[in-house]
């Protein structure tokens, strides 16, 4: 039986990441028998409040990848305007391709089949450093980011970074 195109593509991306690891994250399969479920470890970017953190997340790919985006969920607790309190990541490149029904995002900001695991994770790392508070997934975190970044927001992130180092 032939493997689906999506499985071949994911296998190739995994091989490439193992051959040429990127700075800031590592990625692998949760279970060697399932190419559609990945575990990633994102290292908190330098010169950000997340520096020193080790944040585990899961990427779940649909069978029609790369036509449709994967879903990303942080397993490690993280306080961020674009990460829901349940860990779901809300970032434009992981939104379904095409027009945004709310008119907020341009089609070219949303999912495109040219994205890879690497481009997704680089975008998420960039999002950690520079949140989009105009379209938050976590309203209290966005409010704190805008109004009390050096106070309560910083304390909550520091707690998440500390806890991420313990696991």
SS3 at position 21: coil
CA pair distance 164, 148, nearest whole angstrom: 23
CA pair distance 112, 73, nearest whole angstrom: 20
pLDDT for res 1: 55
CA pair distance 98, 3, nearest whole angstrom: 28
pLDDT for res 2: 60
Residues 89-112 pLDDT 10s: 999 999 999 888 877 888 889 999
pTM above 0.85, yes or no: yes
pLDDT for res 98: 86
The total number of structural domains in the chain stands at 1
Residues 29-75 pLDDT 10s: 999 999 999 999 999 999 999 999 999 999 999 999 999 999 999 99
> What is the domain extent for residue 154?
5-165
Mark residue 16 as left, alpha or beta (left: phi above 0; alpha: psi -120 to 50; beta: remaining): alpha
DSSP class of 147: H
Q: Is the per-residue pLDDT at 131 higher than 70?
A: yes
Q: Find the CATH number of the domain harbouring 49.
A: 3.10.110.10
Task: Give the active site residues.
Answer: 90
Q: Is the per-residue pLDDT at 167 higher than 70?
A: no
| Mean pLDDT, rounded, of the chain | 94
């Amino acid at each position: 039986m032939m493997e689906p195109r999506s499985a071949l593509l994911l296998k190739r991306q995994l091989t490439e990441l193992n051959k040429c690891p990127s700075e800031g994250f590592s990625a692998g399969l949760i279970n060697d028998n399932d190419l559609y479920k990945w575990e990633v470890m994102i290292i908190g970017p330098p010169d950000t409040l997340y520096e020193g953190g080790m944040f585990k997340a899961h990427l779940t790919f649909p069978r029609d990848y790369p036509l449709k985006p994967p879903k990303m969920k942080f397993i490690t607790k993280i306080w961020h305007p674009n990460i829901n309190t349940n860990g779901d990541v809300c970032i434009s490149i992981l939104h379904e391709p095409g027009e945004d029904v709310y008119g907020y995002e341009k089609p070219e900001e949303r999912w495109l089949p040219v994205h890879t695991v690497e481009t997704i994770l680089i975008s998420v790392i960039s999002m950690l450093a520079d949140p989009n508070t105009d379209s938050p997934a976590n309203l209290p975190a966005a409010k704190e980011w805008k109004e009390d970044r050096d106070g309560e927001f910083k304390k909550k992130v520091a707690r998440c970074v500390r806890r991420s180092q313990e696991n």
